[in-house]
Amino acid sequence: MLFSIIQSEWYKLRKSKIIFIILAGPLVGLFTGLNSNIAAENGELNKWYFIFMMMTLTYALLFLPLVTGVLAGFICRYEHQEGGWKQLLSLPVTRGRVYMAKFILLMGLVFFIQLLFLASLYTAGLIKGVQDPFPMQIVWKSIFGGWIATFPLVALQLWMSMIWKSFAAPFTVNVIGTLPAILAVNSETFGPIYPWGQPFLMMYIGGGTDAVFFIPWEQVLGVVGGSFLIFFTGGLLYFKRKMV
């Protein structure tokens, strides 16, 4: 049941211009990767680390949080046009399942973008002629961690996109959350508790590498998990009561 809604959601999305958004991720990665001044780093550090740190800076701090909003806007676009919500919800589906389906599909797309970002790292390194061994384990940790960190942001953006017809309004909310992250991640007080800063903190390999993620479990569960619960429940409750 849930699976068939997801399939139908994907079917609607296939022919939209969503591919351009998905491709924007690796594009940003490649752009920053190729611009990283690898020659400046001639110490002991694995050169892959260096490129990856440069790439995640822009990608995880700005691109990833912002793109969740664009994807969420796309996934609600068809329903906002010409009474699409009415049509979708008068099918034999529950609202909870529709919401779940859209959320799962969004998370799937974000994961796909993360994989493409990984591919862009590898490509950038190859072009730059990096000889060092590829630190697969650490990079995976970063890719996966960054994905986990987008859970609350995707939930909030899905909520906002269900409220507003226009792309610009939920995007504004997204921007208001994302811009302060640039400052927040530098702060020891705000950084760990600011949801929009988490994608960066969970992807940036400068952090502690002993744990499963680069940040402590308490932070993953408390900040990422907590804000996810709030945003997801808020969105779900809103959607269940939404007048269509």
Partner 1 sequence: MIRRLLQVDFMKMKRKGFWFLTFLGPFGVVALQMVNYGLRKDYLLQQSEDNWGHYLGNITVFTPLALVLGIVILTSFIASVENETNAWKQLLALPVSKLSVYLSKFTVLAGLLFVSSILLAVFTLSFGIFLNLGEQIPWIELLKDSFYPFFAGLPVLALHLWIATVSTNQGIPITVGVLGTILTYSSYVLPDWVIWKWPSLNNGWNEPVINVWLGIGIGLLLYIGGMLDFARRDVK
The binding site for partner 1 (CB under 8 A) comprises: 16-17, 20-21, 24, 27-28, 31-32, 35, 58, 62-63, 66-67, 69-70, 73-74, 77, 165-169, 171-172, 175-176, 179-180, 182-183, 187, 189-190
Residue with tokens 């999305």: 13
Cite the beta strand spans of the chain per DSSP E. none
CB of 94 to partner 1, least distance (A): 27
Distance CA 35, CA 43 (A): 19
Distance CA 79, CA 237 (A): 18
Kindly tell me which of 40 and 91 has the beta carbon lying closer to partner 1.
40
Cite the beta strand spans of 56-200 per DSSP E. none
Task: Please list the helix, strand and coil fractions of the chain in percent, rounded to the nearest 5, in that order.
Answer: 80, 0, 20
Q: Which helix (H) or strand (E) element contains residue 229?
A: helix 226-241
CB of 73 to partner 1, least distance (A): 6
Kindly tell me which of 87 and 166 has the beta carbon lying closer to partner 1.
166
Distance CA 106, CA 155 (A): 9
CA 22 to chain centre: 11
Kindly tell me which of 54 and 139 has the beta carbon lying closer to partner 1.
54
CB 182 within 8 A of CB 195: no
